[in-house]
Amino acid sequence: MTAEARTLPRHDWALANPWPYAIVGLVLSFLGWGWALAAGDALTGLRATLVFIALVTTGVGLVLRLNSTRSAFLDRASPGLRNPVLWGLAIAFALLAFAVTFLLLARPFHDGIPWKFATILIFWIFTVPAYTMAAKLCFRSAKEGSALSEREETALLLVLAALTTFCSHWALYNPDQPLNWDTIRTFLWALMLVPLLAAPLVLISQTARRFVISLLIVFHLGGMCTAALAAPPSPMLISHLWTRVYRPYVEFMYLNNAYHFYAPEPGPASYVWFRIFYVDETVNLKYAQWYKIPHMDERGRHGHAVSLEYQRHLSISENVATPDPTPSTHLTNGEFAPWFGRRLELAVVTPAVVGKAAPAESLRIPFQHYLSPVQQYAAPSALSKAHLECYARFACRLPHDEHPHLKVKSVKIYRVRHVIAPWIWMAQGTDPRDPELYHPFYMGEYSPEGKLLDADSPYLYWLLPNNRENTADKNSDIRCWALRHAEDSEWIYRYSERERRYVLSKEE
């Protein structure tokens, strides 16, 4: 008996085969998508669990294939699938190349395409040549009747992983509430692009693969350089590269922010304070508590495990720090604009005017001492408003610390700008933690669904100042009108000689 005849057939361990995991992941994601179409938002938690399991099993299948040196599992299990798989891969890569090319050519003539021309062009450069080469290789292998290789099987698994991620993205979509799960759905959309880009790279030659990866690295480093050089004044070429090419990529990856923090002059940091209101429906009592991003105590120390976590939370607050241009304070007929006139009426105690209704707001808040009224208004941009709605929904999911059974009624949001003390103040011994250096802007009261409840509030988007009672005495009491507006009983800062800092206390 020859040595070949004595060789026993090789049987792989069933759990080492990547295909059961890939198929289970694809089926579960399809089920989740079908569930979303049929049942809407019913049993969202279970649907999200299906998506999670689908992504995990798909990832397990990819890891098993990438870490295995064995030949194609699919080819050994069913040799008759060789040609259909190869033809299917070739057609899939050809269709992807055609789709990206069509989007590129149609973008100048159709504004309904959500991506900019430069973004599609960059994606075309990195994908279409690789898709074309991969499609040619699969066509050639199918014509020659070659055996299915492990690289072709890996490419097929990557395409199926992209399809699974696409289905998972839509499995979390609810047309009645399209903003639900928007963050994770955006992540899944970006995650889908990774296997779509990696699938052709597995098949093409090593030289072509190195060229594409090197081009990606150069493009990425070019984005870093452009982000650093785009701050004005900047050359025209850098401005065009930043605006038309790199900005969508760098902002999506959130890599541009830190390059503008420290030069030529650092700007003020921003915090976000949430005053969450709860209600006990059984006894009709109202409770409230603060939640702050980032977490800071009264001594100026952050409450995060590491400083890096504090910095990341500080970056989150920058998303709501971009204001729109200040509108005109007067109408064309010479009267005050409503946003300005309503605030002036509440800045000081004014006598009643016959024939004019008294302001509905009973709380009267003065202006900041050393800023003009126009400087104390900062309406957020449309993007910042969208972030505020998202932050409100997050804050309204937080349970009460002492009474977790309470139901959230609403949340008031304040963007607090921490002004860097001028050098002359520091020379006079001003504490950087002085409450007067904190400028809270009222961003509105929101429902648990993230809807603005008081769009007509006279204090909306206005600075609610921390005013020192005696400006000549640096240790004088400071009234924090934002805390007063948030219905906090402790809203007056009094200087403590023992602790050598300001301490919150109630009004006497």
pLDDT for position 398: 93
* pLDDT for residue 7: 39
Q: Of the ranges 125-139, 165-179, 294-308, 440-454, which one carries the lowest mean pLDDT score?
A: 294-308
φ/ψ (deg, to 5) at 465 = -75, 165
Pairing between β-strand 490-496 and β-strand 501-506 as defined by DSSP bridges: antiparallel
In DSSP terms, 276 is beta-bridged to: 289, 411
The shares of helix, strand and coil residues in the chain, as percent rounded to the nearest 5, are 50, 15, 35
- Mean pLDDT across the stretch 199-226? 90
Question: Model confidence at 144, in pLDDT bands (50, 70, 90)?
Answer: confident
**49 versus 146: which is more confidently predicted?**
49
pLDDT at 496: 87
Mean local confidence (pLDDT), 342-360? 65
3-state secondary structure of 205: coil
**pLDDT confidence tier of residue 6, bands split at 50, 70 and 90:** very low
pLDDT in the model for residue 4: 42
* pLDDT above 60 for 264: no
Alpha-carbon gap, residue 359 to 131, rounded angstroms: 66
In 3D, which of 16, 27, 35 has the Cα closest to residue 53? 27
- Average pLDDT of 441-455? 93
The average pLDDT across 367-373 equals: 87
- pLDDT score for 434: 87
Q: Given this model, what pLDDT does residue 298 score?
A: 75
Does the pLDDT at position 329 exceed 70? Answer: yes
pLDDT at 348: 67
Residue 273 is predicted with a pLDDT of 95
Instruction: Give pLDDT, residue 12.
Output: 53
Confidence of residue 301 (pLDDT cuts 50, 70, 90): confident
For residue 461, name the pLDDT band (cuts at 50, 70, 90): very high
Q: Between 500 and 484, where is the model more confident?
A: 484
High-pLDDT (> 90) share of the chain, %:
35
d(CA 190, CA 22): 20
Mean pLDDT of 362-382: 88
State yes or no: pLDDT of 485 exceeds 90. Answer: yes
Q: What is the pLDDT of residue 350?
A: 54
pLDDT at residue 56, as a whole number: 94
pLDDT band at residue 316 using 50, 70 and 90 as cut-offs: confident
pLDDT for res 239 = 85
Give the pLDDT score at 261.
Answer: 53
Q: Kindly give the residue spans of alpha helices, DSSP state H, lying in 7-72.
A: 18-39, 44-66
Query: How far apart (Å, rounded) are the C-alpha atoms in residues 180 and 192?
Result: 19
- 8 Å CB contact between 441 and 464: yes
Q: Which of 344, 379, 337, 385 is nearest to 365 (CA)?
A: 344
Q: CA-to-CA distance for 140 and 87, rounded, in angstroms?
A: 10
**Mean pLDDT (whole number) for 405-417:** 94
Q: Which carries the bigger pLDDT value, residue 180 or residue 409? A: 409
Q: Which residue has the tokens 């025209």?
A: 236
Q: Which tops the pLDDT comparison, 355 or 427?
A: 427
Choice between 50 and 231, residue whose per-residue pLDDT is larger:
50
Share of the chain above pLDDT 70, in %: 91
- pLDDT over 50 (residue 372): yes
Q: What is the pLDDT of residue 92?
A: 92
Q: Taking residues 295-312, report their average pLDDT.
A: 81
Mean pLDDT of 351-362: 57
Indicate whether 456 pLDDT > 60: yes
Does the pLDDT at position 266 exceed 50? yes
Buried b (16+ CB within 10 A) or exposed e, 141-175: bbeeeeebbbebbbbbbbbbbbbbbbbbbbbbeee
Q: What is the mean pLDDT of the chain?
A: 84
Rg of the chain taking only CA atoms, in angstroms: 30
| pLDDT-derived band at 447, boundaries 50, 70, 90 | very high
pLDDT at 77: 59
pLDDT of residue 114: 80
**Average pLDDT of 354-358?**
55
> Residues 426-454: what's their mean pLDDT?
90
